[in-house]
Homo-oligomer: A and B are copies of this chain.
Amino acid sequence: MFAPEHIIDRNNVYIMGSGNKVIMMAHGFGCNQTMWRFLIPELPDDYKLVLFDYVGSGAASMAEYSTSKYSSLEGYAQDIVDICKVLDLQNVSFIGHSVSGTIGLLAARAVPDRINALIMICPSPCFLNIDQGYQGGFEKHDLSELIELMDKNYIGWAEYLAPLVTGITERHPVTNELTESFCTTNPISAKNFAKATFFSDHRTILPENTHPVLLLQSDNDALASLSVGQYMEKNTPNSELQVIKGKGHCLHMTHPQDVALHIKRFLEVKCAGE
């Protein structure tokens, strides 16, 4: 068991507010905890917010980076589990962006009594096109080429991917910020996280879910389509899908008020009486 201060330091954990109820927020690939700043002012006041960066991302420590551990999403889920344990968090409402929806599901399986609800913003359990029944949106060779580009031209890769993610092709602060965040993430950890995110298939864990799940999907997202959200709702017990009219894969940055409206309603209903 790690000492609490070790994990707090390792994952650059930042706690805001002092409510009895807890919201934990997990960023996506190539991102960091600062990107929650647009959503945070819209969230209810009576929650304590627990923010963090995955090892290898943001301002978390690279000293403990392990290529093998962080080559699968289970490694990232372990970061969440560690934080929940050392802070002894209970009744956590977990908000995960993109791949952190899946990572949250993995963490909730590991510590089911600590997490009581999962909110997923633009999630996808698998970004690959598998068969007629599941089209994650990407062919494996296309994603392989994208990841190879990280070696050849790291800046070019970031400048290609960021507008695809935000859905904003002209220069815009959110696209600029994502480009900058991609560029300034350690290339080794970024590539490893990219592979874990884009080449994995976690559809099989959806039916095992036992927590209330809110799926917030964009109606126009190049990375996680509406059909992916519909697949998740169909295959995840206790889930509801809400579709937000808005382009892009970063609704928490581009449409924070719309996202917050759904989150507040969901928390009021699902977490009432705690």
- CA A12 to CA B178, docked complex, whole Å: 12
With an 8 A cutoff between CB atoms, is A173 at the interface?
A: yes
Q: Which residues of B contact A40 (CB under 8 A)?
A: 37, 41
- CA A29 to CA B138, docked complex, whole Å: 41
The range of chain A's interface size is 10 to 19
Task: Point out the residue from B41, B179, B180 that lies within 8 Å of A41, measured CB to CB.
Answer: B41
Q: Is the CB of B173 within 8 A of A13?
A: yes
- CA A41 to CA B17, docked complex, whole Å: 12
Q: Is the CB of B176 within 8 A of A59?
A: yes
Interface mask (A1-41 → B, CB under 8 Å = 1, otherwise 0): 00000000100111000000000000000000010010011
With an 8 A cutoff between CB atoms, is A184 at the interface?
A: yes
Known contacts being A13-B173, A41-B40, A173-B13, is A179 close to B34, with CB within 8 Å?
A: no
- CA A9 to CA B175, docked complex, whole Å: 11
Q: Which residues of B contact A171 (CB under 8 A)?
A: 9
CB distance from A213 to the nearest CB of B (A): 28
With an 8 A cutoff between CB atoms, is A177 at the interface?
A: yes
